Structure formats: C-alpha cells, structure tokens
Amino acid sequence: MKHILVAGGAGYIGSACTEYLLNNGYAVTVYDSLVTGHLDAIDPRAKFIPGDLADREKIIKVAKEGNFYGIMHFAAASLVGESMVDPSKYFRNNIANGINLADAAVAGNIKNFVFSSTAATFGQPEKCPISENDPQKPINPYGESKLCFEKILNWYSQIHGIKYAALRYFNAAGATENFGEAHNPETHLIPIILQVAAGEREKLMVYGNDYNTPDGSCVRDYIHILDLAQAHMLALDAPESGHYNLGTGKGLSVFEIIKAAEKVSGKKINFEIAPRRPGDPDTLIACSDRIKKLLGWKPQFENAEAIIESAWKWKLNHKNGYLR
C-alpha cells in the first residue's frame, strides 16, 4: 500500500484529497497545524500528526520515519486579498515553510511531490483560456509566492531527483458528501453566497462591476474539488515532472454564479456592488488539455449548477461547518 504524506489535510482541498486517496487504496498521514484547518475535516481513516511546516525539525523527522511514497502539499496561505495587506505571511508560509517540506522530501528520500499551485501565478493573462506555457506574471504576493515555489521545486527536481507536479488550480469549489468549504472568516464567493441563501448573512458584496468582462463582474473558472482530487492522484504517478492547469475551460462571472446559486437553492441572493478587491484580474479561464492528454484526467463536473449543488447539500447537512 502506498503511503502519502498530506500536508494541509485538514483544509478544504486537502480534506477532499485525503478522502479520495483513502477511497482509492492509499494510506494517508495528515500533517496540519490546524491554524486554518479543522480537526473534523480530517478523514478518520487517516493518521493525524499535528504540526506546522515552520517546525523544520518536526517535518523532517516525520518524513524520515514514514516510509512515504509521495507528498501532497496543501499547507499554505491562499487569499489574494490578504496577501495584498500582509505579504510577509505569504512569503514566509508559502516559500520559507514550503522549503522545509521540500527538504523533508529530500531527507526522507520521497520522490513524488504534488504541489497546489494556482491560476494566480499567471497574473492578468494576455489571453484566455490560459495554457501552461503562457507568461507567468503574478499581480499579487499570493501568486508570486506560489510561482516562486514552483521554481524551487524545479531546482529540487534537477538537483535532488524529486519528481514534482505543480497543479495550478483555478477556482476550487463544491463539496464531497463529507467534506466542504468552511473558512473563518469566509472570504470565498460560493460559500458566502450560500451563507446568504441560508439566511446566515444579509448580503453578498460584489467586488467590482466595472471589469473588462461582458457583465462587468470578474470571470473565473470554477472546478470541483473531486476533480482536483483525481488530478492529484494521477499526478502522483506521472512519469515525469510537469505543470498542469486545472479548470473546466468555462468562465463564469460573479453575477452568473449568483443566478446559478439562486436556481440551486431556490432562494434570492441579496447583493450590493462594492469597490474592486485589490489584486483581482478580470478573467481567469484554464485550458486543461495537457493533463487530459498526458495523465488521462477526466473531470466529472462540467457545469456550475452541479458544483454549487454539491456545496449546498454539504451546507444543509453541516449547519455550522466544522464548528463543534
């Protein structure tokens, strides 16, 4: 049985990937500080080691002792807006602490490394959909920190023989039956809209209606976390290192997401137009042909309503998110 070390397995995407690995016959150890993750988001079948990637000695010890086949790295700070206010947090967490995990891979002779990268590494793209080889010019410290770590992994690959996959997610969304999105405070579009639908929040603030898009609101490519999980598993066994964009290839505006959520929930979503959020590009849409062609990735969720419906179901069954 292949044993995977999942750093950040108590977070939104890490929890769904842990569940997916366990369902597919892998053994999993979750390493998580629980600073933003939740104890209840860790699949009970996984072994859990509480710890922070800032604790270099600890993560190196864990990596040396686990006989791991691979590492999945989800343990990072991931908010564009916050990164524009506190860049230091992003460079420390996502680069300095990431290096501790990469060094742990070297120390533990773990050769397969799957890294959560992001569409934010592309900045304001020159064209959409975005392919892997398009220019990467981040416009916020979050994207810069992730791009920097992609480059670090490339050097570790050349020097230490670690095979890595940088998976550039576009907008992760949706839920599995057991695991969903619950940040505190919540900043992401779909969970905020669903809070409004559930009567937990008065309204959504739409950050800008004067973007260069058909309806003026930002356009994003929303991808289901189960499809991300499948991509992670395939990337573990990829024959060589690579970068892959992960999205559905379809862009939806904030207003289109509001409409889809109204249809799914049957509730009216109140909103108000607010100023733009610093660091947001107009449009981000992925071209994911490479991972389909090279690794046989077959996404299951192609439309926003199905994605939002899975998140809505999870929300109805988990009234307080993960709060005990």
76: left (phi over 0), alpha (psi -120 to 50) or beta: beta
Pairing of strands 171-173, 252-253: unpaired
Q: How far apart are CA 64 and CA 82, in angstroms?
A: 34
Q: Which two tokens mark 177?
A: 């039956």
Report the site for ligand UDP in 270-289 (rule: CB under 6 A).
Answer: 277, 280
CB-nearer residue toward ligand UDP: 54 or 205: 205
Give residue for tokens 């005990």.
Answer: 324
* Residue among 254, 264, 269, 295 that touches ligand UDP (CB under 6 A): 254
Residues 6+ apart with CB under 8 A from 199: none
CB-nearer residue toward ligand UDP: 149 or 207: 207
Q: Does 252 bind ligand UDP (CB under 6 A)?
A: no
Of 90, 142, 156, 164, which residue is the catalytic one?
142
Report the site for ligand UDP in 231-250 (rule: CB under 6 A).
Answer: none
The angle that helices 97-107 and 141-160 make with each other, rounded to 10 degrees, is 20
Count of residues near ligand UDP by CB under 6 A: 15
* Residue among 96, 205, 316, 323 that touches ligand UDP (CB under 6 A): 205
* Residue among 206, 229, 252, 308 that touches ligand UDP (CB under 6 A): 206
Pairing of strands 163-169, 242-246: parallel
As measured in angstroms, the least distance from the Cβ of 181 to ligand UDP is: 9
CB-nearer residue toward ligand UDP: 108 or 141: 141
Other residues' Cβ atoms within 10 Å of the Cβ of residue 133: 8
CB-nearer residue toward ligand UDP: 146 or 220: 220
* Mask for 171-190, x = binds ligand UDP (CB under 6 A): x---------------xxx-
Q: Hey, which bits of the chain come out as E strands?
A: 3-7, 27-32, 47-50, 70-73, 112-118, 163-169, 171-173, 204-207, 219-220, 222-224, 242-246, 252-253, 271-274
CB-nearer residue toward ligand UDP: 28 or 304: 304
Report the site for ligand UDP in 55-114 (rule: CB under 6 A).
Answer: 80
Local structure of 222: helix, strand or coil? strand
Q: Does 204 bind ligand UDP (CB under 6 A)?
A: yes
As measured in angstroms, the least distance from the Cβ of 295 to ligand UDP is: 24
The verdict on whether 244 is a catalytic residue reads no
Interface with ligand UDP (CB under 6 A): 80, 171, 187-189, 192, 204-207, 218, 220, 254, 277, 280
| Active site positions, annotated | 142
